[in-house]
Chains A and B, each alone.
Chain A
Amino acid sequence: MIKQAIQQISGFKYIIDSLNILSSIGRKQLLSLPFLTEKEDVERALAETETACKIVNARENEKPLSMLLTKLMQLRDISGTIQVLSTENVLNDIELFEIKHFALLAKSIREYVTELKITFIDIPSLTTVIDTLDPEKKRIPHFYIYDKYSSVLASLRTQLNRMTANKSDEKDIEPIRFQAQRIEDEVRKNIAQQLFPHVQALSQALQEVARLDIVLAKAIKIKELGLCKPTIGDNETSYKGLFHPEIKNALQQQNKEFQPVDISIPMQPTVITGANMAGKSVLLKSVALAQTMAQFGFYVAAQSATIVPVEQIVTSAGDGEDELQGLSSFAAEMLRLNTTIDNTYKGIRQLVLIDELARTTNPAEGKAIVCGMLDFLIQHNIQSLITTHYSIDIPCRKLRVKGFTENRNNETITISNINSFIDYSLEETTEKEVPHEALKIAEILGVDKDILERTKKYLKK
């Protein structure tokens, strides 16, 4: 469910929060959207999003669309009232008003849906519901127990009005009022009986308008964030111009640019190396985010993308400390490896994204852990990305972040402009050795010279 994904996937909350969902029922449904794991389901959801995008972006739709959005804004969540009705309870005037208000709104939304040719939204006709609650056929969303419901009630009311006007004794008025109230109750009971067969239709209408609200909000956001529709594939996930919207936005506010990256992730492990600050963690986060978005039926943050749906995205960042459970960062990380291994034995399709495995322990054992894990992943052909600073000599697919570029104009590199001297793009490599740029970066970051000198001495040894 989306609720968990919001907590686990970096940058996904940013996307969800940026959606302008207009109704409370839409917001409620959004939070329980399922994570789609089957190819057909993801494709259908994406196709709906695509249709919505075309509708939202067509200029001639501007007016009916804005009318439709206004209607969505007026929606109330009447699921509680539908629930009351579904148990064959008699509804009070407030609940009847809610149903009438909703039914009229759903009818008008349905008309706009037809006009805009939003074919995948199926709001059932609620004409019988409306007729039941609108005996005077005024089609305005007001409600009371109308005189039309019962001629006896009408005449009792007339009598009551006359008595009040003539200032009759309250003792004489009270029995008449009581009679009128009993007939009103009778009418409410009849109405509930007439409405009961439509519980299903009302419920479906409510779900469908909520779905409409969400898909339109998605479509509107897609253009703004520059997202693309991914192709759903079987063999390889790949991105051209992959980016992370939240980080991109944060950089933009500091007048910096986010450099999009191209990457392919075949159904086997890939080791990613690169200097510190070369964007390895952001890369993994972007991959996790894009995969998540696609499987919730969103477009993804890239120029183009092909995605293989999985049943689970397993992410592990070395700094995921779990103090509350009394685990060190190392312990928490080791336990997370078990998830991947369990999934493998259960045959669960997974995308494994591990950032700097075993970096918090000694290099000798750390490196061995990486190799051991890698060995397992290779044997089982697990689609995975593993970043590391260790030199790995197991033969497997390796990518390297290009990292520092030449300082052509001999500019002064500082913390604030360092990003512009890094090339974040990836290249295939067969080298066993990892880049040794840690000291260079520490120097740029302004670490004390004394320490640097001492460090260099040790390095030479």
Chain B
Amino acid sequence: MPFINNILSHRSVSIVGLEKNTGKTETLNYVLHRLQKMDTQVALTSIGVDGEQTDSVTRTPKPEITLFEGMIFVTSEKHYLKRRIVSEILNISNDRTALGRLITARAQSTGKVILSGPSDTAGVKRLIDEMGQFGVQTTIVDGALSRLSLASPAVTDAMILATGAALSANIPQLVRQTRFVQQLIQLPTVESALAAKLQSLNSGMWAIDAEGNVHDLEIPSVFLLDRREKDIFRFGTRIYVSGAVSDKLLSFLRIQNRNVELIVNDFTKIFVSQKEFNSFLKSGNSIKSVTRSKLIAVTINPLSPSGFLLDSDTLREEMKKALGVEVYDVRKMSNSMDIQ
């Protein structure tokens, strides 16, 4: 499949599920299965809600991932000791997560591990950089999309989205929702000099003046915005929000009618409805992000947890037409694994 080559042409790729049961683990297992035949060194890690042992939404245990001989993986001490694989420890990080330090190891056989990785974005970045010393060409990150997670999969160069009937059982609606996420992932970015400045800001709202200087607007929370509406534009209309962007914030900025350029850290910080997002843009405002990733493929799971099955071919066609990237059915991918 062509998208395996596409994965290997990026230094880091995250696999992100838009909803539970959209087939993220199947996608990951499929990708790994294909990569074992390749002659390149890959590494695997995960980001998730810190301290999570079981899936925090469904209460089911975190799935084990099948790894093949030679693959490098990074997981916490706790999960390392529970592995069902023969593997060689290469390094122990000094960073601590709630589940202990992070262990980097190389699989010596085929087997299963539970992945848990860095708990914040900077940690993920550092880890991807460190993988170079083990000859890793591509690091694959089992990504999580969560308001609760401090780590964002947007730090990876490329991204694969897992979507499906679990998100919406209506094909046009599912396509539209997935297309919206793609739009957010691929938001235009700010100039790199400014990006470097904004990256280090962890909280609050900031204004960027005409000279590119960053000023703290001293608004501790966007929920306290209303009281400050007069001076929020005192340095101009370029505003950086380091935290979550809500419908309320967008509509507030929209009614000011000032052609705001809203800057977010990455797409995972945007929790807005498609409707509000569109009307924000239509009223002459714009949204940019500090980091952006590239969507290289979408996988679909036409089966919903309630048993509803969408027509795979139609869904794939529609999705491909709307998004312009390769679309694969996870169920067909798993079948192809068995044949080999």
Q: Show the binding face of A for B, using Cβ within 8 Å.
A: 76, 92-94, 97-98, 101, 142-145, 157, 160-161, 164-165, 177
Which of B77, B89, B103, B109 contacts A157, CB < 8 Å? B109
Q: CB distance B88 to A94 under 8 Å?
A: no
Whether B38 is near chain A, meaning CB under 8 Å from some CB there, is no
Minimum C-beta distance from B27 to chain A (A): 21
B81 is an interface residue with CB less than 8 A from chain A:
yes
Return 20 A-B CB contacts under 8 Å, by A number: A76-B92, A76-B94, A92-B81, A93-B81, A93-B89, A94-B81, A94-B89, A94-B103, A97-B89, A101-B92, A142-B88, A143-B88, A144-B87, A144-B105, A160-B109, A161-B109, A164-B109, A164-B111, A165-B110, A177-B84
Q: Which residues of the other chain, B, contact A144 by a CB distance below 8 angstroms?
A: 86-89, 105, 108
Residues facing A in B95-137 (CB within 8 A) are: 103, 105-106, 108-111
Contacts of B111 in A (CB 8 A): 164
Give min CB distance, A281 to chain B, whole Å.
40
Q: Besides the contacts A94-B89, A144-B89, what 15 more A-B pairs have beta carbons closer than 8 Å?
A: A93-B80, A93-B81, A94-B81, A97-B92, A98-B92, A142-B88, A143-B88, A143-B89, A144-B88, A160-B109, A161-B69, A161-B109, A164-B109, A165-B110, A177-B84
B322 at the interface (CB under 8 A from A): no
Chain B residue nearest to A165 (CB atoms) is: B110
Name which of A76, A93, A143, A165 has the most chain B CB atoms within 10 A of its CB.
A93
Inter-chain contact total with CB atoms closer than 8 Å = 40
A-side contacts of B87, CB under 8 Å: 144
Report the nearest A residue to B68, measured CB to CB: A164
Beyond A92-B81, A94-B80, whether A142 also contacts B86 by CB under 8 A is: no
B77: chain A residues at CB < 8 Å are: 94
Report A-chain residues with C-beta under 8 Å of the C-beta of B86. 144-145, 157
- A161 and B110 form a contact (CB under 8 A): yes
Q: Tell me the dominant secondary structure on chain A's binding face.
A: helix
Shortest Cβ gap from B90 to chain A (Å): 5
CA distance A143 to B110 in the complex (A): 18
Interface of chain B residues 164 through 223 with chain A (CB within 8 A): none
C-alpha spacing A157/B86, complex, angstroms? 9
- Do residues A142 and B89 form an inter-chain contact, with CB atoms below 8 A? yes
Q: How many angstroms between the C-alpha atoms of A110 and B108 in the bound complex?
A: 32
Cβ of B100 to closest chain A Cβ, rounded Å? 9
Beta-carbon nearest neighbor of A97 in chain B: B89
With contacts A144-B86, A157-B86, A177-B84 known, is A94 near B109, CB below 8 A?
no
Residue in A closest to B83 when the chains form the complex, CB atoms: A93
Contacts of B84 in A (CB 8 A): 177
Residues from chain B with Cβ under 8 Å of A93 in the complex: 80-81, 89
How close is B33's CB to chain A, nearest CB, in angstroms?
Answer: 12
Q: Which residues of B contact A101 (CB under 8 A)?
A: 92
CA distance A142 to B134 in the complex (A): 12
What chain A residues lie within 8 Å of B94 (beta carbons)?
A: 76
Kindly state the separation between the CA atoms of A414 and B229 in the bound complex, as whole angstroms: 48
**Which residues in B have their C-beta under 8 angstroms from that of A164?**
109-111
Q: Which residues of B contact A145 (CB under 8 A)?
A: 86
The docked-state distance in angstroms from the alpha carbon of A97 to that of B77 is: 12
User: Could you say which of B80, B81, B106, B108 has the most chain A C-beta atoms within 10 Å of its C-beta?
Assistant: B108
**Chain B residues positioned under 8 Å from A143 (CB to CB):** 88-89
Residue on A nearest B80 in the bound complex, by CB: A94
User: Ordered nearest first, which 3 A-B pairs have the shortest CB separation?
Assistant: A144-B88, A97-B89, A164-B110
Contact between B92 and A94, CB atoms less than 8 A apart? yes
Measured in the bound complex, the distance between the Cα atoms of B106 and A97 in whole Å is 13
Q: Considering the chains assembled together, what is the distance between the CA atoms of A142 and B90 in angstroms?
A: 5
The interface residues of chain A lying within 8 Å CB-to-CB of B106 are 142
Measured CB to CB, the nearest residue on chain A to B134 is A142
The complex places the Cα of A177 from the Cα of B84 at a distance, in Å, of: 9
Complex CA gap A92/B90 in Å reads 15
A180 and B280 CA atoms in complex are apart in Å by 61
The distance from the CB of A160 to the nearest CB of chain B, in whole angstroms, is 7
Chain B residue with Cβ nearest A144: B88
Minimum C-beta distance from A94 to chain B (A)? 6
